[in-house]
Amino acid sequence: MSMVSDIEKLRPELLEKSDAELERLRNEIEMAIAEKHKRAEQERRAAIVAEASKHVDAVVAGLKWLHDNQLLSDKMVDVFTRGDGQFNPATYIRAPRGVDDVRAKAVTIGGGEKKRRRRRDPVTGQLVPSKAAVAAGEA
């Protein structure tokens, strides 16, 4: 396969265009190439999100099955138990909802306020309100 390297044989009409027209054409081609790469990356990340959703569903179902058959340690049960006493790993393990969710981000709720995490008192081992909850006067 031989490639023509002479512009007069390949695209002679380009020699009739002004420098500004050629520059504009080059910029348009570069923008089109960049857009194609961006779309390909979005499709790749969308496939990852779809796959992640399947894995998260399987993990949540597996944890529920282990809990129902009393095969989880007390520590794991505590981790996935909500404040109202209901075992629900889906509260804490969630699949990404969109392409931008694939990257790790700070966990936020509502209007961008940081999520308050439960912690244990080192002496008694009992769950205590978070420092943020205490500071906000919610505890």
Query: How far apart are the two ends of the chain, measured CA to CA in Å?
Result: 76
**How far is residue 42 from each of residues 24, 35, 38, 64, measured CA to CA in Å?**
27, 10, 6, 33
pLDDT value of residue 116: 55
Residue 122 CA to residue 49 CA, distance in Å, equals: 38
pLDDT tens for the chain, 139 residues: list them. 456 688 888 889 999 999 999 999 999 999 999 999 999 999 998 898 889 989 999 999 999 999 999 999 999 999 999 888 889 898 888 888 766 655 544 445 455 555 556 677 778 888 887 777 778 777 5
3-state secondary structure 88-100: CHHHCCCCCCCHH
pLDDT value of residue 26: 96
Residue 131 CA to residue 116 CA, distance in Å, equals: 8
Cα dihedral 44, 39, 103, 108 sign: negative
